[in-house]
Amino acid sequence: MTATPLGLRSLSLSDRYRSDQEDVVANFFVPAFTVASSYSRAVGYFTSTSLALYARGIETFAVRGGTMRLIASPHLNEDDVIDIERGYDVREVIERATLRELELESPDTVLDGLGMLGRLIAEGRLDIKLAFVEQEGRVGIYHEKIGIFRDDLGDLVGFTGSSNETYGGLMANFESVEVYRGWVAGDGTRALRLESDFQALWSNQTPHLTVERFPDVARERLIKLGGERPSRPLPGRDDALTPPPLTVSEPRRLSLPNWLSVRDYQKDAVTSWLANQGRGILKMATGTGKTKTAMIAATQLGNVLQQREQPLVVLILAPLQHLVDQWISEVEDFGVRPVAVYESSQKWLPVVEEQLAEARMGQRPIVAMVATNASFAGEKFQSVLSRITQPLLVIADEAHNLGSAAYRSCLPPNATYRLALSATPERWFDDEGTDALIDYFGRVVFELGLADAIKMGALTRYLYRPRLVELNDAETNLYVDLTAQIATRIASGEELGKADPNSPLGFLLRQRAGILGHAEGKLAALRDDLSTRANSWFQLVYCAEGRRPTEAGEPPGPNQLNEVMNLVGNQLHLAAHPYVSETPRKERKLLMRRFGTGDDLRVLVAMRCLDEGVDIPDARTGYLLASSSNPRQFIQRRGRLLRRAEGKDVAEIFDYLAVPPSGTPINFTVERALLTRELQRANEFGKLSENYETTLEVLRPLKERYQLMDM
């Protein structure tokens, strides 16, 4: 006679278990596992220890062939949460967090438990998913704890409860468990509802919750561990799985990273700024570490205020979102997680308000915020700034941008400490804006020029290779016509050196620059130079903006960036990618990583990008097809190439200068004045290069033609 199989209904189950009154594992979980055929559980964090405990609790159940589904909350740290809220790929972030948990050093008891789970996954008897709250752009933790046992007879037991996982079993120390037996009147509806809730979770159909598959790479890691760890009985109790006691640390203060070696010139800059009552401008060459110098200054200021038992509010302003992201990483290196102030105020405003309130109550020694200039000037953030009464430090990156009329009126008057950073703080054709910056931030308290920076090894040495390219016939005709119009404007009293970019003369000068920048002959010269460096990595090409100018009534000419991409990729067969203002931030990060590996992308082709603040120290060769006469642009572009990097001894800069053919009938005086500005850039590049004599020889014919040998 065949024995009737035992099921859940054969157990004497209570409707409630409390750990202060009985052994919940022995009285509820062990009996249920003994007769159940499937187990579904949503509980707590996904950590290596909790997974190992899961294995210990289900060992007998697994031996009987039971199947299991587990939903846990990924152990996201603050970096992970911020990345998800900024729109980074959720699966990539979860994969990173999961692997971080599995890569922690763990005792053998934990590894044995993880190995058992790996074997169950490999056998198809365990599946894991990860859940977190995602609502209104904010990420939260999934806290709900429910479970369902099913047996082969079709009976069901559902339960809910809070747990404190420590040692000895799957849920060793429950505070309480409420049990609902499917065959008991009143309980059955609740048990089925719990099962329905779990099924909705498993199929990712729960509002405001995101449920993701367990990352494949983490799954493979567990399966591999299952093949490496011995299959042996797991002990019932082991203090090795006892988690350390919870410790609550006080909020972090700014501190110098252990790996940071502060250079002498950075010490001098900070000392000068502090001696000027914490106000002033650091005029330091691009690539010399203005960001870290500013953070050293903020750290020193925070230490002084700590002695006075005062908090410090740090506001860092940057012109663009990707620069905000770079600053966030820099501030984190100094031990503090800043608030990113851009995009929707729903994301940053509650956090800013909370941290400022804690600072007012003496509960937070440092509040750090990094804002784009646009968000900083917005009404909501301006309201926040106006109410700050604690010591406030404003750090302005690429500070020249704040000299515009729109921004300088927003600079907070209640900032006790002010620090401006720029290689070129002077605003182009805007003396009023330059004066406003000096009035607010103070004078230049420290200056480090390019020559000194190269000499002391803060920047790399470089070779400068100007290339003279003649305009073709069509370009020359346009050029001559524009030069005549410019001459007429100058004759009527407009000054070339003081031309507003938006004035009629400024428009004509931009048109002229467009012809020079888009000169067709530059592509042939670029092809020659790239061909000789086809095996080199870390190359940047800076393209002219817009399209090649044409005669009135004719359609616009080709886009230079597209022409360069065709040349580099299709003709020379070099791995290349465009990098433009429309390139999404997520893709920019990926491109930077690919470029920096030195085995993927050889060439980045940029237009209106890769100027201010972008940190690409690996770049070794730059091709400047176009640069404005604004010194800031070519200084920034040169700075991108002179940053120090491992294995980088010298950089190389190609500068393509378009000129009309010799003998072109043109207003000599005006052309000479215009060309002087072009040659000033070439001279600026050449005089600090390793091959200045070669530069002079290349430019000599042009200087002789226009009687500029004294330059």
Classify each residue of 157-192 as buried b or exposed e, where b means 16 or more C-beta atoms within 10 Å of its C-beta. Answer: bbbbbebebebbbbbbbbeebebbbbeeeebbebbe
Tell me what pLDDT residue 169 has: 33
Tell me what pLDDT residue 701 has: 87
Classify each residue of 324-356 as buried b or exposed e, where b means 16 or more C-beta atoms within 10 Å of its C-beta. Answer: bbbbbebbebbebebbbbbeebebbbeebeebb
More confident position, 182 or 19: 182
Most confident of 73-82, 240-249, 299-308, 615-624: 299-308
CB neighbours of 706 closer than 8 A, spacing ≥ 6?
Answer: 668, 671, 672, 675
> Lowest mean pLDDT: which of 138-142, 428-432, 617-621?
138-142
Model confidence over 366-381: pLDDT tens digits? 999 999 999 999 999 9
Tell me what pLDDT residue 235 has: 47
Tell me what pLDDT residue 73 has: 76
Residue 129 pLDDT more than 90?
Answer: no
469, 659 in Cβ contact below 8 A?
yes
Q: What is the mean pLDDT of residues 71-93?
A: 71
Cβ of 17: how many Cβ atoms within 10 Å?
21
Model confidence over 320-350: pLDDT tens digits? 887 888 899 899 999 998 999 988 888 888 8
Tell me what pLDDT residue 311 has: 93
80, 133 in Cβ contact below 8 A?
no
Query: What is the residue type of 284?
Result: M
User: What is the overall mean pLDDT for the chain?
Assistant: 82
Tell me what pLDDT residue 136 has: 60
What domains lie within the chain, and their CATH numbers?
8-236 (3.30.870.10), 265-454 (3.40.50.300), 460-705 (3.40.50.300)
More confident position, 166 or 267: 267
Sign of torsion, CA 478 482 487 488? positive
Tell me what pLDDT residue 461 has: 94
Confidence bin at 173 (pLDDT 50/70/90): very low
Q: What is the mean pLDDT of residues 599-615?
A: 76
Model confidence over 267-312: pLDDT tens digits? 999 999 999 999 999 999 877 889 999 999 999 999 999 888 899 9
Model confidence over 207-232: pLDDT tens digits? 878 888 887 877 887 888 777 776 65
pTM (2 decimals)?
0.60
Model confidence over 524-546: pLDDT tens digits? 999 999 999 999 999 999 998 88
- Cα 322 to Cα 586: distance, rounded to the nearest angstrom: 9
633 φ, ψ to 5°?
-65, -50
More confident position, 112 or 469: 469
Q: What is the mean pLDDT of residues 405-429?
A: 86
Tell me what pLDDT residue 639 has: 73
More confident position, 94 or 289: 289
318 φ, ψ to 5°?
-140, 150
Residue 81 pLDDT more than 70?
Answer: no
User: Which single residue is written with the structure tokens 């692997």?
Assistant: 99
User: Which single residue is written with the structure tokens 């509650």?
Assistant: 350
Tell me what pLDDT residue 685 has: 85
Q: What is the mean pLDDT of residues 41-53?
A: 64
Most confident of 144-153, 192-201, 226-235, 432-441: 192-201
Q: What percent of the chain has pLDDT over 70?
A: 84
